[in-house]
């Protein structure tokens, strides 16, 4: 289409007219601006590192008895996550789960205690490698601790969960910081390399100049033929 417009502007009687040349200058300018704008549109936007929408669940084994209450652990974890900037939602993209298992320790009845194994697991939606385009919830972080308790099992479980949640927040923030640094480094490398942006503009400009040269050559030959 551009070639047809240039040819119609150049063709006429004799050499190119001054009005036709004035018409070509805006065409060339608009074409080069179009290439530059297209590159800006195609350039990907800087990635963000916002925290995911998260759901908190607690699973307590029956062997732990009624002393360790799931709602208390869940509400405590949700409060810490909100303070850290997470959004608690049932429509979530990630899940934080507290799982507690207990094993009674044999001994005298008055000295009976529980061996408690407590884990905090984080799962998030990731892309499936085996099914391109599909997503699945998979575990990406876990930390566990073990302790023994007798009368204060609920308090010990709450304290252990506080330690695990702090560990999760530290690791999650460190991962986000590393991802942000990696993304910024990739953008800086792209900005320092001018060839991906300049090369298409140069090629397109040379193409336009080549078209102009060919059409001017045709017009000059036609004018020379008429003189003879």
Among 119-123, 187-191, 207-211, the minimum mean pLDDT is found in 187-191
Q: What is the mean pLDDT of residues 140-158?
A: 93
Residue 118 lies in a domain: yes
Specify the pLDDT at position 57. 93
Torsional sign, CA 149, 155, 161, 167: negative
Residue 172 lies in a domain: yes
Residue 191 lies in a domain: no
Residue 23 lies in a domain: no
Q: pTM for this one?
A: 0.58
HEC string for 19-50 = HHHHHHHHHHHHHHHHHHHHHHHHCCCCCCCC
* Contact predicate 126/140, CB 8 Å: yes
Specify the pLDDT at position 91. 85
Length of the chain: 228
pLDDT above 60 (res 32): no
Q: What is the mean pLDDT of the chain?
A: 75
**Count of domains forming the chain:** 1
Please state at what angle helix 70-83 crosses helix 153-192, rounded to 10 degrees: 30
Residue 133 lies in a domain: yes
Residue 7 lies in a domain: no
Residue 177 lies in a domain: yes
Among 52-56, 94-98, 107-111, 214-218, the minimum mean pLDDT is found in 107-111
Give the pLDDT confidence of 162-193 residue by residue, as tens digits.
Answer: 999 999 999 998 988 887 777 777 777 766 65
Residue 82 lies in a domain: yes
Range 177-180, long-range pairs (CB < 8 A, 24+ positions): 179/49, 180/49
Vertex 208: Cα angle to 202 and 210 (nearest 5): 100
The burial of 85, by beta-carbon neighbours within 10 Å (0-12 exposed, 13-18 middle, 19 or more buried), is given as exposed
Question: Which domain does 109 fall in, by range?
Answer: 53-185
Residue 112 sits in a domain of what CATH number?
Answer: 3.30.160
pLDDT above 80 (res 46): no
Q: Cα–chain-centroid distance for residue 132?
A: 17
Specify the pLDDT at position 207. 74
pLDDT band at 227 (very low <50, low <70, confident <90, very high): low
pLDDT above 80 (res 113): yes
Q: What is the mean pLDDT of residues 106-133?
A: 80
Q: What is the mean pLDDT of residues 103-113?
A: 72
């Amino acid at each position: 289409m551009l070639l047809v417009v240039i040819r119609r502007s150049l063709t006429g009687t004799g050499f190119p007219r001054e009005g036709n040349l004035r018409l070509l200058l805006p065409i060339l300018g608009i074409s080069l601006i179009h290439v530059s704008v297209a590159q800006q549109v195609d350039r990907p936007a800087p990635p963000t590192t916002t925290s995911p929408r998260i759901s908190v669940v607690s699973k307590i084994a029956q062997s732990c008895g009624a002393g360790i209450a799931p709602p208390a652990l869940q509400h405590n974890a949700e409060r810490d996550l909100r303070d850290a900037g997470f959004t608690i939602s049932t429509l979530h993209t990630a899940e934080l789960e507290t799982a507690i298992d207990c094993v009674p320790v044999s001994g005298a009845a008055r000295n009976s205690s529980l061996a408690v194994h407590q884990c905090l697991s984080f799962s998030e939606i990731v892309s499936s490698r085996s099914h391109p385009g599909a997503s699945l919830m998979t575990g990406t972080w876990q930390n566990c601790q073990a302790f023994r308790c007798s009368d204060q099992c609920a308090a010990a479980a709450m304290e252990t969960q506080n330690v695990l949640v702090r560990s999760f927040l530290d690791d999650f923030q460190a991962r986000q910081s590393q991802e942000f640094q990696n993304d910024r480094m990739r953008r800086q490398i792209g900005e320092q390399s001018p060839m991906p942006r300049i090369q298409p503009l140069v090629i397109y400009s040379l193409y336009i100049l080549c078209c102009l040269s060919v059409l001017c050559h045709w017009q000059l030959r036609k004018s020379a033929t008429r003189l003879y």
